[in-house]
Chains A and B, each alone.
Chain A
Amino acid sequence: MSDTHSNTVSYVRDTMLDQQEPPVTERGVIKWLRENLFSGWLNSVLTIASLGVIWFIIIEIGPWLLNTVWNAESLRECRAILDGTSGACFAVIKDRWHQLLFGFYPPEHYWRPVLAMVLMLVALAPILFSEVPRKMLYFSVLFPFIGYHLLWGGSVWLPISVLLGFVVGYVAFRATAKLSSLVSVIAAVAGTFLWWVFLAGPFDAAMYSVAPIGLEYVRSDAFGGFLISIVIGVSGISLSLPFGILLALGRQSDMIFLKSVCVIFIEFIRGVPLITLLFTASLLLNYFLPPGTSFDLILRVIIMVTLFASAYMAEVIRGGLAALPKGQYEAADALGLDYWKAQRLIVMPQALKIAIPGIVNTFIGLFKDTTLVVFIGLLDPIGLSNAIRADTDWNGIYWELFIFIGALFFIFCFGMSRYSMYLERKLKTDHR
């Protein structure tokens, strides 16, 4: 059949037409607009309304931002320069940026927090990115002591003697390792604490009298601005994760005493606002301590913030643990792994991966919560913005300070959020 008709039927086309362009509404920008902005009357109305809002914001804020005064000594001078026109007065940032960043830290020592910050990034690199050589982790372990000495200064032997406490613990662990693992853990902990309580102080004093090495001491009162936010935030973040893991495991434990302690701790802390804990740190602890002991306020705040974040972290990680199929636990048992090995090799890597968004969420929340210290009189960026406004030169300035503070916080929090997305993609092993 086909043969007879193949060349005789004139209306059957034997050459293909060139492909035509799709209709104008189905291609390019117009298609994108139709599909994304004007698909249906409701979306069209919303699009137009949004454009109106954006236009309004640009019209209102654009000239104000563009008409910025950078060089002035006071708000009055700014207003005189602007001469009635609307304009921002970012001269206040130029005048006070160092205070917003470092508080009252002595200017000749600004290199110390800056160096500490750089070293912190170096120390974080091997933790955050697996491409970095693993040997760098030794530096990460040492960084808290280096960072402490850089920021506060004083005798260099103090962080060294604290560090030696861990060495003592390790030696005790090794010496008793043959007896039993429980005994050696107890010996290690006891050795560390005995060193800290009884020998660390005299060791520090003795070494300092022999070799008085160390940076100039900077007291905690001098800390302020973003320095205080970062010190509290980073300490809280790095301490709350291990505590949170331990609390989450404790809450899952079969040991009734351990479990109740963890549950009570978590529920108590979660039931109390952070501001209450901060007030406790700043007001009540003074009364319980013997008079004359000056227990550093920043240290007290770090402890309270850590406790607070640990409780939340524990619940986030418990969520990760709960999401893990029971078969994983059973598989670990079937392999003959003991509890800690099972947790370390099978359970935690998976549970933490599941919990990453929640963990980072808690970190970001914690970092922003550091601004609450303004209520106990610590001069964090928000507190300093009040103090700057109390100077007669800058009384009455708001937006410029808050925009600057907001922008810096955004950089930190956005960075954390992007890193967590990177980590999630990298660790993605399922096929959803």
Chain B
Amino acid sequence: MRKSVFYGTIAASALLAGAASAQSTLETVQSNGEIACGVSTGLAGFSAPDANGVWQGFDVAVCRAVAAAVLGDPMAVNFVSTTGQTRFSALASGEIDMLARNTTWTFSRDVDLNFTFAGVNYYDGQGFMVNRELGVSSAMELDGATVCIQTGTTTELNLADFFRVNGMSYEPVPIETNAEAQQQYLAGACDVYTTDASGLAATRASFPEPGNHAILPEIISKEPLGPAVRQGDDQWADIVRWTLNALIAAEELGVTSANIEELAAGTDNPEINRMLGSAGELGAMLGLENDWAVRAISAAGNYGEIFASTIGEQTPIGLARGLNAQWTQGGLLYAPPFR
């Protein structure tokens, strides 16, 4: 609680400072010629620098799409690596313009810390991984287990809730980072490793023998991960929100990086025309050029293409679409209409 008061105070003072400067985030970004985007210091599939020092990943792609929409150049992003502790103050103090760091959208972060979440780019949930030798097939059989758990995260609280509600006991093995967790788990220091299911899949993929480990079917929490911006600059929040929506809608409407040039010239689908700017003035309403969505989608493709190339089933991480499929496919992705 005290922590949130602290963050709230610094966020509020930053807002005052921001109001005093009286320059909108969009103007700042345009005058800097780049977006300062906060990402994780390294999370497999979501954000990591490659051998050439170029950041790659699912969260990174959101930053690049926004940069393409606003500045016309997907590479015009200054990636600021943030840790779990520094991410919120970096955003509140204006060091970064947006945060795309697998951050769970929660009430207190949205309301108390004065951030605006621009949507959800990945629906995650907390799961459990166990060694198959244990013969456990359900999380309800984990009574008395030792559990590796990252400290200071929502997963720690979810774990306590889950075991209390189900009347089971567990022995926590506190760990600091995912890397440490992998080592502890493989060394047998804990029976169970729990974190977001996407993280479990990425972790399991890195094991010498992934087949020996099972991810249990129970998902014990909702972890909607999404990009966040400072509260109080609605224009900037709208830009990030609708860039994300454009990526999602593009997949639904069948707009891909391959056919976008052709579709941008004009189609017989009025919604595609409005989104891609061949009809209407949606870009101008955002304060951007009318081909903003074309540029955003051209950066790395639509939502489905980004998913497939960074964390999808063809990648080593191998995540299925699951909840992150389009609403027409039984998932939760549902972009509001472009009208």
Contacts and interface: CB of A to CB of B under 8 A. Distances in A.
B49 A383 contact: no
Interface string B24-56: 000000000000000011111111111111001
Interface residues of B, number: 49
Interface in B71-101: 78-83, 85-86, 89-90, 93-95
B89 to A, nearest CB: 5
B81 A287 contact: no
Interface string A272-293: 0000000100111011001110
A432 B10 CA distance: 59
Contact of B14 (A104, A221, A287, A386): A287
Interface stretch (A24-32, A169-177, A178-186, A374-382): A374-382
Greatest chain B CB density within 10 A among A107, A286, A291, A375 is at: A291
B42 A392 contact: no
Contact of B179 (A377, A379, A391, A398): A398
A160 B55 CA distance: 35
B327 interface: no
Contacts of B263: none
Contacts of B208: 79, 396
Contacts of A269: none
B17 interface: yes
Contact of A286 (B46, B47, B94, B203): B94
Contacts of B177: 386
B182 interface: yes
A379 B39 CA distance: 13
A375 B41 CA distance: 10
A188 to B, nearest CB: 37
Contact of B93 (A283, A378, A390, A395): A283
B316 interface: yes
A95 interface: yes
B151 interface: no
Contact of A287 (B21, B93, B202, B205): B93
A227 to B, nearest CB: 13
Identify the 8 closest CB pairs spanning chains A and B, nearest first. A396-B206, A390-B42, A390-B48, A395-B206, A286-B93, A387-B42, A104-B53, A291-B17
A104 B89 contact: no
Q: How large is the interface on A (under 10, 10 to 19, 20 to 34, 35 or more residues)?
A: 35 or more
Greatest chain B CB density within 10 A among A99, A104, A391 is at: A391
Nearest to A79: B208
A404 to B, nearest CB: 15
Nearest to B316: A392
A390 B53 contact: no
A75 interface: yes
A390 B202 CA distance: 9
A34 interface: no
Contact of A377 (B18, B21, B82, B203): B82
A291 B20 contact: yes
A389 B42 contact: yes
Contacts of B83: 375-377
Contact of B49 (A107, A282, A287, A387): A387
Nearest to A392: B316
A90 to B, nearest CB: 15
Given A291-B21, A395-B206, A383 B51 contact: no
Contact of A221 (B80, B202, B207): B80
Contact of B41 (A386, A392, A395, A398): A386
A356 B40 CA distance: 42
Contacts of B267: none
Nearest to A386: B42
Nearest to B46: A390
B108 interface: no
Greatest chain A CB density within 10 A among B17, B183, B202 is at: B17
Greatest chain A CB density within 10 A among B18, B47, B93, B203 is at: B93
Given A282-B86, A376-B83, A389-B179, A395 B205 contact: yes
Nearest to A222: B53
Interface in A42-69: none
B316 A99 contact: no
B50 A390 contact: no
B294 interface: no
A96 interface: yes
